[in-house]
Structure 1
């Protein structure tokens, strides 16, 4: 990563059983902003009936398909489909972060999500598809600032939980995306 030109210091955690579960992958894409400071790309998921993460902030990505040779290839394909950003042509792969376990959207079966970090070196135009309500680049400084951290009340059938999050304008980054963001920020000294 280019934040301070220091390499990642920790090895990502790889789940030993990941090959036996459904796999998904996402791309954490950063670039130099107009002010010279790094910013990270997020998508806001399109709002859909029955989708529990409808409208949430996320990183582009999705489930592996038979044509994907690796989870990283899935992250690149899904990013191209969702945003029009061609990571194979204009992205510089930098790192793999730790595997995370979640569940399928409509089922309770576990799914392993692997995040990959890229530096974007291409054109600034983005072409969001039907799965994406909007694409936004957020300053790393904003994402790291203590005053933008908070708690999100998340209601479940067994009670309400207070989950950590990062607030940006009218949006909230939480859940897996927040965990990936924290790992990324924790691995780099951002200046």
Structure 2
């Protein structure tokens, strides 16, 4: 999937005021499947009262803490805490994707989320903490297929929005995770096109 050429062509958007806002980061982790394809790791968040994203599909990650030297370090630490997946030992860092803006869970304050892409080369076992209900590996080809794209009604104070999403075996990938996924898929498509003309 990812090559030096694919990584070197990436120019992620970095928000100019990101260092003045609360920071968070996530890890997009892919691996080679037994059928030769590529799979992407998602977590399903544990269901918790008061959490607006309770039960949602997401990528592992969380907020930058004082002990984190960088947002990438935060993504690695949070992934290990949430899933037992050790990206430092068994992950190969591939790329940084574009910053996205969301809000804190409990208040309407902006938070910048930075996604990092890793290739997983370790064991299949996971160790989930209380924040994660399960881990799901989804084929990248399925995520990219147009027939698997859908809409999710999302109620807001201003009315209902039909948000783009991808549904997989009863799961629904939408929101920030869907946006990150789309950037990853665009990069993979461009890499495939570049490779076809070499």
TM-score by length of 1: 0.96
> Which residue in the other structure is 2:138 paired with?
138
**What does 1:45-84 correspond to in 2, within 5 Å?**
45-84=45-84
Q: Counterparts of 1:141 and 1:6 in 2: how far apart (Å)?
A: 21
Cα distance per residue 1:120-173 (max 9 Å; x no partner) = 000110111110010010000110011110111001122100010011111110
| Contact 2:10–2:95 under 8 Å retained in 1 | no
**Residue 44 of structure 1: aligned partner:** 44
Cα distance in 1, alignment partners of residues 31 and 171 from structure 2: 21
* Structure (1/2) with the larger helix percentage: 2
Asked if the contact 2:24/2:113 (under 8 Å) is kept, the reply is yes
Aligned-residue CA RMSD in angstroms?
1.3
CA contact (8 A) 1:3 1:38 kept: no
Question: Following the alignment from structure 1 to structure 2, what is the Cα–Cα distance between the partners of residues 139 and 105?
Answer: 29
After TM superposition, where is structure 1 displaced by more than 2 Å over at least 4 residues in a row? 2-6
What SS does the aligned partner of 1:188 have? Answer: helix
Superposition map of 1:74-153 within 5 A? 74-153=74-153
Tell me how far apart the structure 2 counterparts of residues 134 and 49 of structure 1 sit (CA, whole Å): 18
Which runs of no fewer than 5 residues in structure 2 stay unpaired? Answer: 193-198
1:6 offset after TM fit, Å?
A: 4.5
**Runs of 5+ in structure 1 lacking a partner?**
none
1:35 and 1:91 map into 2 onto residues whose CA distance is: 21
